[in-house]
Amino acid sequence: MQNFIEIIKAIFLGIVEGITEWLPISSTGHMILFEQFIKLNLSSQFKEMFFVVIQLGAILAVMLVYFKKLNPFSKSKTKSQKKQTYILWYKVILACIPAGVIGLLFDDQIDALFYNYQTVATMLIVYGVLFIYIENAHKNKSFKINSLNALTYKTAFMIGLFQVLALVPGTSRSGATIIGAMLIGTSRMVATEFTFFLAIPVMFGASALKILKFGFNWQPIEIQVMLVGMIVSFIVSVFAIKFLVSYIKTNNFKAFGYYRIGLGIIVIAYFLITSFS
């Protein structure tokens, strides 16, 4: 019975991850809040690893939705299109280097310093304000970069620098990179899709690091919870990705900015109330 309850919790957490990983609203912020109500009855070491590795399911969803665009071996592509696909991957890898290096060197220190509700709430609010400010600043303005092919290596690397900011919990990896990309003249659609692609090597790397630190002596319930969480996040992510792409065709990111501010206030209020109760 206890194992069944843990699996139900993993389903709920997988739903939260699948939605919040791609929308620029911070999956970590939501996980910290939801974990107060849906506490996994497993070791703290496993939970720390779980909240990172569950994102692999979401990453596989990107690979499914964008399989044709990301596949350089597709027989339906011309030689020129295959070349552009390779170039896209080169840009993605280049953009991932800053976050990969910083994350590898300072992963434990970042978790120790910033993995708390105060940081998460602050980052939710700060980046919410930034989204609103940037959208207001770009009102009725056109963007310089309107296709992935027009994205230069220099621009890709600069977007990768913004991704480093997402190492701080509550920032949102997609939020930081979309804001950074828009600041340097990238359209919403290009910024969003490039952000999706950046997640693939970054999250595979982060997951591998967490698994190595946790070790391979898993309990059966831990394997079940991990697999269920990943499968659910995969399914939900497919719909979340398609929703966001459809949404930004006719809308901007201001609604997500307001949502982040509201969630940040809720996180602060909740933990202040519980600390005095």
Looking at residue 186, what DSSP letter applies? Answer: B
For 105, the domain range is 2-276
Mean pLDDT of the chain: 91
Buried b / exposed e over 203-240, threshold 16 CB at 10 Å, is beebbebbbeebeeeeeebbebbbebbbbbbbebbbeb
* Residue 139 confidence class, pLDDT cut points 50, 70, 90: confident
The pTM score is: 0.89
> pLDDT tens digits, residue range 22-62?
999 988 778 777 877 888 898 888 988 898 889 899 999 99
Task: Tell me the two tokens of residue 254.
Answer: 């201001």
> pLDDT tens digits, residue range 79-129?
999 999 999 999 999 999 998 899 888 877 887 888 788 898 999 999 999
Q: Report the alpha-carbon distance of residue 22 to residue 248 in Å, rounded.
A: 13
Q: Report the alpha-carbon distance of residue 45 to residue 210 in Å, rounded.
A: 10
How many domains does the structure of the chain reveal? 1
Q: Report the alpha-carbon distance of residue 83 to residue 258 in Å, rounded.
A: 40
> pLDDT tens digits, residue range 225-270?
999 999 999 999 999 999 999 999 999 999 999 999 999 998 899 8
